[in-house]
Amino acid sequence: MKKVKWAESAGARVVPIRYGSKPVELEAVFNGISGLLLPGGGASLDPRSSQYYKAAAHLLDLAEHANAHGQRFAVFGTCLGWELLAVWASGGNASVLEGGYDDEGRMHSLRLLPRVTPGASSQTMLANADLRRALLEADSTFYSHEFGVLPETVLRNPELKRAFNVLATAKDARAKEFVAMAQAWDGKPFYGVQFHPEKPLFEWTTKANISHADAPITVGRALAAFFNDEVRKSRPGRFAGGEREAFQRDIHAAKLTYLGDAYFSEVYVF
């Protein structure tokens, strides 16, 4: 639910994608949207057995094909979504993920890396000076993960190295480092973060230590605006059934349930 609010806060219209759908249905949804948001959560990313991974990989293949043929299509992955992007970009190699991180429900800062791309374009996630300053402050980003991508894994894996430029890293409670922000090379609009930019804006549960200070709020707002700008630059999505179908598929057609002081205070029920 909070990821929906995060996207909508910057002007997005949200259409849920059911990962149990057949490929033809996934393609019908893909044709109607202009960007793909891969949220955090808990799901297997084993390419051999995970239905969730197979559905997401199919959508990412479609996005890759669209960009390769001049039809810009933006993708943004958070937490599990970034991990999924890393597995997919490495050719379905789940071993690029490192387990055992002690980073459940923690707020901390991250380390921005020197820009690797000569003359880095304005499309970089770090082009916003306010965002850069906020990211460096204490407790600027919220994490809830057991898996992650080691920076050295990006350098060792040829496919992952070709696919993503690491922009920032962070460390868990045991000082174990992981990729915190990454984006695709050559201006392709694929982006990933290990943290949850939506939590400080919209989640007030006592089940996690979420700061609502200026820095994390700035981070959440800036990244929402950035991704939605990228979506608006993307090719316009059109459903076969026009606006009638768009309203039928809209996230608000699903039932919203309030759970109170739970880890997720609001959920959509399908």
Catalytic residues: 79, 196
What six digits make up the tokens of 267?
Answer: 């959920």
Q: Which helix (H) or strand (E) is 177 found in, with range?
A: strand 177-184
Rounded-to-integer distance, Cα 157 and Cα 160, Å: 5
Write out the DSSP string of 179-244: EEEEEESTT--EEEESS-TTHHHH---TTS----SHHHHHHHHHHHHHHHHHHHHSPPP--TTHHH
Contacts of 49 (CB under 8 A, 6+ apart): none
What six digits make up the tokens of 86?
Answer: 């890393």
- Please calculate the CA angle 95-100-101 and round it to the nearest 5 degrees: 110
Name the residue among 24, 30, 25 with its Cα closest to residue 15. Answer: 30
Phi, psi of 65 (to 5 degrees): -65, -40
